[in-house]
Each structure stands twice: as C-alpha cells, then as structure tokens.
Amino acid sequence: MKSSVITFPGSNCDRDMDVALKKFGFQNKMVWHNDIDLPKSDLVVLPGGFSYGDYLRCGSMASKSKIMKSVINFANSGGMVMGICNGFQILVETGMLPGVLLRNKYLEFICKNVFVKIKNKQNIFFKNIDNEILELHIAHNEGNFFCTNDQLKEINDNEQIAINYCNENGKIEDQFNPNGSIENIAGILNKKKNVLGMMPHPERMIDKYLSGEDGSLFFNNLINNIK
C-alpha cells in the first residue's frame, strides 16, 4: 500500500507520521508542498504542525499550497485523504470538510491523552475496529470544532461524525470535552467518507513505551481496510 505525507513549511509531525505509516506496512513518500503532482498513492496524509506558523487562521495558508490542488483532485476522484491536527485544520480551510476549528475554549494549548468513541464505523478508516473507544493523544491550541446549525444538521444527517471525545466508559459529556467542540466532535468525515479530519494524533501511540497503543490499532486496521 502506498501513502504520501505532505510536508508544508512548519509541519512538525511529518516525520512521526512517516515512521508510523512505515511501521504498519505502508510504502510512504514525503511530498513537498511546492510540488505539483502527487506520487501514486492509496492514502494521502496532511500531518500536524504549524504550517506557515499558523499566523493567519490555522491551515489557511497551507490550503492554498500548490500541492493542494492535486490533493483535492485526488479526493474528488475518491482517493483517501486523512488530516491530523493541523492537517484537519487545512482540510477544513480547503472546504473538503465542513466547519471551522476555533481556539480551545480555555484559550490554552492542551497536550494529553483523551478517550474518543467511534461514532461511525461505516467508512474505510474505522470499519472492522473491534473497540468502541480509543485512547488517543491530543496536542493543539485550535481544536474547538464549530459550525452553523444547518451544517451540524447536515453533518449528523449524513453520519459524518467520525469520533467524539468521551470518558473511558464511552460517556460523551461536556466534562470530557477538552476544547469546547460542538457535540464533543473530535473528528469528521466528508459526505463520501473518503476524507477524514481529526484532532487526535494516532501516530504518537504506536508502541507500549509511548503514551499508549491505540494508535497501533488504528493503523493496523487502516492498512487492512485499504488492502
């Protein structure tokens, strides 16, 4: 299986993603933001970081990068695209995913483990995962998902919510929401379910010596689903 990770100026989880994808069997290529063409890929990943310093709205500069035209075309033709953290922010800025990501409710960067409940398993990213709940890691300043009421209705009607913040028992409540996201949304899909954006970093949870191993579950499942 072939994957591509895009490096924007200021990306800083690009290497971590490369390590994770390779560990679980992807043949991964790093792609520079100024390139025009994507290499042949089964999966394209927009990694975390601070593209262009995030001095403007997070992800907005990167969404106009040269390579993004190809990424958008790739997604429109059904290709799988995944944006993690800053990558999620970029996907939202391109319009590939609905909504926006605001600053965290308490106006502080948060780096910690959280639990998420998988809301939708009818997609290539999460189908066949046995667990209902995953322990993942977040590290962000702008992960507060927000959208209009109409958008929210559409997201729900189309079953686009991928994962919600919850506690270890899967309870989705305000107190387990780390950043103020609407309906505890931690990750969403596009209508066709081939584009996923999420704040948690599965690539930081890929062996038992790290913060946890549920990232391994995610990647293992991902590569099996693509095969």
Partner 1 sequence: MIVNEKVALEHGLKKDEYKKICELLERTPNITELGIFSAMWNEHCSYKSSRLHLKNLPTKGKQVIQGPGENAGVVDIGDNDAIVFKIESHNHPSFIEPYQGAATGVGGIMRDIFTMGARPIANLNSIHFGSPQHKKTKNLLRGVVHGIGGYGNCMGIPTLAGQTSFDSSYNGNILVNAMTLGLVKKDKIFYSKAAGLNKPVIYVGSKTGRDGIHGASMASASFDEKIEEKKPTVQVGDPFTEKLLLEACLELMSGDSIIAIQDMGAAGLTSSSIEMASKGNLGIEINLNNVPTRETLMTPYEIMLSESQERMLIVLENGKEEEAKKIFDKWDLDFAIIGKTTKSKKIELFFDNNKVADIPVNILVENSPMYDRKWKKAKLPKKIKIKKKEINNLKIVDVLKKILSNPNVCSKEWIWQQYDHTVMGDTIQKPGGDSGVVRVHGTNKAVAATVDSSAVYCWAHPLTGGKQVVCESFRNLVSVGAKPIAITNCLNFGSPENEENMGEFVECVKGIGEASAYLKFPVVSGNVSFYNQTKEVGIKPTPAIGGVGLIKDYQKMITMDLKKVDNIVLVIGKTEGHIDQSIFARNILDEKNGPPPEVNLFNEKNNGETLLKLIDAELVESAHDVSLGGIITSVSKMCIKGNKGLNLKKPKYLISDIEYFFSEDQGRYLIEITKENYKKVIDILNKNAVHFDELGIINEDQLYIDEKSKITIDELKSSNTTWLNNYMSN
Handedness of CA 122, 89, 212, 28 (dihedral sign): positive
Which residue's structure tokens are 């790739």?
Answer: 74
Helix 214-226 with 14-23: angle, nearest 10 deg: 70
The least CB distance from residue 8 to partner 1, in Å, is 11
- Distance, CA of 87 to CA of 173 (rounded, Å): 26
The reply on whether position 180 binds partner 1 by CB under 8 A is no
Six token digits for residue 112: 């910690």
The reply on whether position 10 binds partner 1 by CB under 8 A is yes
The reply on whether position 210 binds partner 1 by CB under 8 A is yes
The reply on whether position 151 binds partner 1 by CB under 8 A is no
Distance of CA 49 to the CA centre of its chain: 12
Q: Is 110 or 124 the residue whose CB approaches partner 1 more closely?
A: 110
Residue 2: which of 69, 79, 86 has the closest Cα?
Answer: 79
- Positions annotated as catalytic residues are 85, 201, 203
Amino acid identity, position 150: D
Q: Is 24 or 74 the residue whose CB approaches partner 1 more closely?
A: 24
Instruction: Find the binder of partner 1 among 124, 133, 139, 226 (CB under 8 A).
Output: 139
The reply on whether position 33 binds partner 1 by CB under 8 A is no
Tally the residues of the chain: 227
Which residues contact partner 1 (rule: CB under 8 A)?
9-10, 12-13, 15-16, 19-20, 48-50, 52-55, 108-112, 137, 139, 141, 201, 203-204, 206, 209-211
